[in-house]
């Protein structure tokens, strides 16, 4: 992390569609400046409206993402890249193919590797070889996890093998059958995520409100890995009014705490 003054911009908009439009604007701006930009993209249900909004813009000819490179946040241990439950398969299905991004532009951690420590190092090296991430989009778990960095993860950790909490496994159980959710994942660490030049956290819905408040207004500690947004020199938090309902009062003028959640973004 640099010595630049942290600049956290918090935008509370009306609903998930407004979040999607706002985040699509942020992504389009980065790609407009650099058509070969490196985007860090998460799985999860929260970013799906953003991916649909971007796909609409691509279909309309307003946006070309064909030169973009995509880096994933994380991957389940034990799932190969073509397992439909793997995040590398999920991101192709939900995001990159609809967005016209070639499969070979998508980089994810090798959760199937026999040597996971080595795979973690290889993933870090591959991100570095791309020149780092221009814009990293992240969701947030109900317990404040970001990527698969559970509470308790040191904020200076890089890509590593994480053991998933029961809460996280329960939240993700809907994607798995009787075999259950894997117990481990290979994940970018908080320090890897925070090394992106711009960090954008999205959240929607009432159940995320306590985690969003902890990330934005709570202490910066390993208790809430998503609080890395507070120390980042160029971070944005874009939430709907439900996820933002516990955030402190609005501030004006400098882009912080904008929106009352009723204006439609």
Residues that bind ligand GLP (CB under 6 A): 42-46, 73-74, 139-141, 147-148, 168, 172
- 240 catalytic? Reply is no
Beta bridge partners of 160: 187
Residue 119, both tokens: 């795979």
Q: Which is nearer to ligand GLP, 170 or 250 (CB)?
A: 170
- 145 catalytic? Reply is yes
CB of 175 to ligand GLP, least distance (A): 9
CB of 243 to ligand GLP, least distance (A): 10
Q: What is the Cα–Cα distance from 169 to 104, expressed in whole angstroms?
A: 29
- 74 catalytic? Reply is yes
Say which of 53, 74, 112, 171 is annotated catalytic. 74
Say which of 150, 172, 232, 242 is annotated catalytic. 150
- 143 catalytic? Reply is yes
Question: From residue 76, how far is each of 3, 44, 187 by CA, in Å?
Answer: 34, 13, 8
Q: Which is nearer to ligand GLP, 48 or 64 (CB)?
A: 48
- 5 and 251 in contact (C-beta within 8 Å)? no
Q: Which is nearer to ligand GLP, 43 or 96 (CB)?
A: 43
Q: Which is nearer to ligand GLP, 169 or 256 (CB)?
A: 169
Q: What is the Cα–Cα distance from 86 to 78, expressed in whole angstroms?
A: 9
| Entry field: residues in the chain | 265
**How far, in whole angstroms, is CA 128 from its chain's centroid?**
18
Annotated catalytic sites, by residue?
74, 143, 145, 150
């Amino acid at each position: 992390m640099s010595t630049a003054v942290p600049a956290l911009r918090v935008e509370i908009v009306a609903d998930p569609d407004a979040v999607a439009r706002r985040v699509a604007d942020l992504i389009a701006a980065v790609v407009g400046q650099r058509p070969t930009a490196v985007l860090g993209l998460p799985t999860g249900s929260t970013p799906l409206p953003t991916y649909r909004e971007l796909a609409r813009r691509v279909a309309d000819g307003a946006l070309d993402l064909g030169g973009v490179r995509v880096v994933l946040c994380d991957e389940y241990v034990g799932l190969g890249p073509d397992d439909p439950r793997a995040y590398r398969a999920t991101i192709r299905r939900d995001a990159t193919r609809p967005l016209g991004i070639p499969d070979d532009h998508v980089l994810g951690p090798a959760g199937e590797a026999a040597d996971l420590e080595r795979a973690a190092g290889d993933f870090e090296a591959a991100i570095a070889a791309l020149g780092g991430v221009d814009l990293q989009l992240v969701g947030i778990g109900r317990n404040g996890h970001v990527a698969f960095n559970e509470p308790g993860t040191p904020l200076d950790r890089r890509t590593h093998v994480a053991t998933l909490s029961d809460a996280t496994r329960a939240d993700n159980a809907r994607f798995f059958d009787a075999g259950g959710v894997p117990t481990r994942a290979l994940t970018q660490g908080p320090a890897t995520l925070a090394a992106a030049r711009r960090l954008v956290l999205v959240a929607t819905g009432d159940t995320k409100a306590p985690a969003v408040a902890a990330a934005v207004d709570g202490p910066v500690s390993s208790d809430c890995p998503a609080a890395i947004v507070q120390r980042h020199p160029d971070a944005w938090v874009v939430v709907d009014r439900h996820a933002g309902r516990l955030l402190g009062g609005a501030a004006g003028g400098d882009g912080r705490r904008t929106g009352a959640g009723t204006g439609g973004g």
